[in-house]
Structure 1
């Protein structure tokens, strides 16, 4: 009877040991699986951290200032630590930190210098005897009174001689008022040089007398 009880206990013990072994194997498999997953996630994060620190160092080297050496030394220590963790996690990706270089500045386009503008000489600048208002036609202003003229190009008091080339008649008049034309003759002045029935002198020579 003792031997039978011992055999029963041995059988129970075997079942417990086998059960514990099964749990241990399952737990080990779960640990291995979890470890691989964590390593994959850690590599992505470690690679990103390494890249950012390398980019920071490269930027400091490209544009150094008084504190750049200290900043680079601190970041290099961080880079060394990250590389140790990457080695332990089995990370093998080639990580580089490059700084985008700014595009070269385009040379400033020199604007062409504007040609100096020269003001056209005023009509009244003509000296006595000069022909002025070349090509202008002459008509009447409709003003009454003694023979006189009005002009937009000559000041009041200027003396002009108007010759009608179609009939060779001419008259010398003084500018008495302003108008929007080179010269307009009042009714009395126009009557002395116009052709009968015409209210426009197309071919005229206008001279400045004084």
Structure 2
């Protein structure tokens, strides 16, 4: 059984550590990941493409010191994707993205096979290993389908249409199609995030359904 204790003070606050036998090692996971808002209702919870259902994760916003502990209740394309109630506990006003987050596994589930600083380990072609079934969607119109099973979320950031990614380098062009309404947009990756593809406000508006900040049935294609 894992026993949770507090560790030494470090930059950003106290790390929770997990004692295993005689050794005590930090259980900070998904280093470098951003944390985003799914826009989904319900009691505080998270979805994840890295950890199984039942895993408990502590998410700390290092910019305001606020933290929440949530249980993973389903899959997504991020290390951790918070629903509305959970995100409200740690958010800064007007922001749908936490760029400086600390994610700690504090119970349940199992450690990921590899933590690559994003939502999955990159394969030879640069695509992440699938976090869920692709759902038998229609074949792509163009390009290579990547990140099968990933959800696509909204960063809340301004500027012309663009995306950030934890899988593809800056300059990669990705075509994102919302399979629920047929709308598509092609964007260029301009920075890192904890998702396969995280759209800014302008890009998400091109493919969104009214009132939704999450696309559960998305097709992501690398086109350049």
TM range (shorter): 0.3 to 0.5
Greater Rg over alpha carbons, structure: 1
State the TM-score, normalizing by the size of structure 2.
Answer: 0.38
State the TM-score, normalizing by the size of structure 1.
Answer: 0.41
